[in-house]
Structure 1
Amino acid sequence: MNRGKKYAEAAKLIDRTIQYEPADAVALVKKTAVAKFDETIEAHIRTGCDGRHADQQIRGAVVLPHGTGKTVRVLVFAKNAKADEAQAAGADFVGAEELIPKIQNEGWLDFDVVVATPDMMGVVGRLGRVLGPKGLMPNPKAGTVTMDVAKAIAEIKAGKIEYRLDKTNIVHVPLGKASFTEEQLSENFQTLMNAIIKAKPSALKGQYLKSVTLTSTMGPGVKVNPLKFMG
């Protein structure tokens, strides 16, 4: 892949042979985010888990203290009083069965998170083929299947993010924007890592955190010393 001049310059600032302290890694990833837009800063956490085993899955959600810097559009599947509650709490879209053909047949996906009341999961389940692969299926572990739709919406809008293992046992999560201060990014990073450490499956034998890397949308990766989080 042919990288541009800016990337090459940015990459020179990073020593690939060392694992940085978390605060130094945050400073470097900010410094190397030189694109013309406000890049997203992401954490990529490679674990020693084997996600093929149910008892080694990691999935959950955490509210980042400074949010992600992204406006999140929330779709809520609810009826009657719960639909009214979702509207009042600031959901971007609220509906029930009538949304199924719109999503299934028209490919409507103008939302980032889906919340559903438990009684609506039968309806939402019919969208599994569409929402599942995109990571949009509501899930009780992530707090997106709940009767307390107002609380779920408030948390998501405040910067709640989901984390889960991908097929290669890596967790990819946005931590904020390059325009955030180092303190904001560091606090978000620490909050995320605390949640990931807590989520360590008890069935796991061997090393839990294999590697932790911070990247910006267009910038090179900065390796962080995972032992700093294992306390």
Structure 2
Amino acid sequence: MDRSRGRPLVWLGRDGGSRRFRHYVETPSPSQSIDIPTRIWNKRVMQPLSDALPAAPSLQDARKAFARSHISDAARDLFFRQGYAATTFEQIARAAGTRRTTLYSHFADKAEILEEIGRQYYAGLGAIIETLPGPVPDRAAIDAWIDQLVAFVIRERTPATLLIGLGVGHDTPLVLHKASQAFQDALAARLPAFARAARPGPENAHVRAAAKIILRELGLGCLEAARDDGDGRALLAIVADMFERFVRDHG
């Protein structure tokens, strides 16, 4: 112990030579702080923490995402009010409060805008699919799941009406097939019956046709039920019967 300073000393050993030297280092008392050089702290502590964190979006990326979302919302409302086919790029630019050149910097055509609307809508549906138990849900689980779908359609009434209406028409835009495929893929991942419906080949044609009918009527039934239409609830009850038999017979 260093009596003059009142701090403990630690014996480290000797140098191993012929002469004996005692080497001591002073250890800090509990009330003392250890001064770690900034360079070592940054390298060993801060840099690994920084590397583990996701990169924050740049201001430019944030502005681009905001502009795309604003344009999509303006286009969605136009498509809903006057129809997808009748809406022009010029009208979308005016509704979004921007120039056509700015519009083209984000979307090549209105089909790309519709695809973005569909992507956002079906991404929301994906979370609801996760609540459907597999591989063969019972009728109570199917009914509860359909109730969640109706609630989602009520919350997202404008895009739901637009996308479901376009999806059941005779001239469905190709981009909607791509957007809705994510919904079908999510079902296929949980329910073997829909996985079978996703397989190509003539041997699965009947299963594919049944899956298409069920999903089409499910969408229409949710729309009608969202309007507090009694016929919509009756339609959904029939769809639930079809859904239950489908997952049981082909699961």
Q: Same fold (TM over 0.5)?
A: no
Structure of greater relative contact order (alpha carbons < 8 Å, 6+ residues apart)? 1
The structure in which a higher percent of residues are helix is 2
> TM-score scaled to structure 1, two decimals?
0.25
More strand by share: 1
Q: TM-score, normalised by structure 2?
A: 0.23
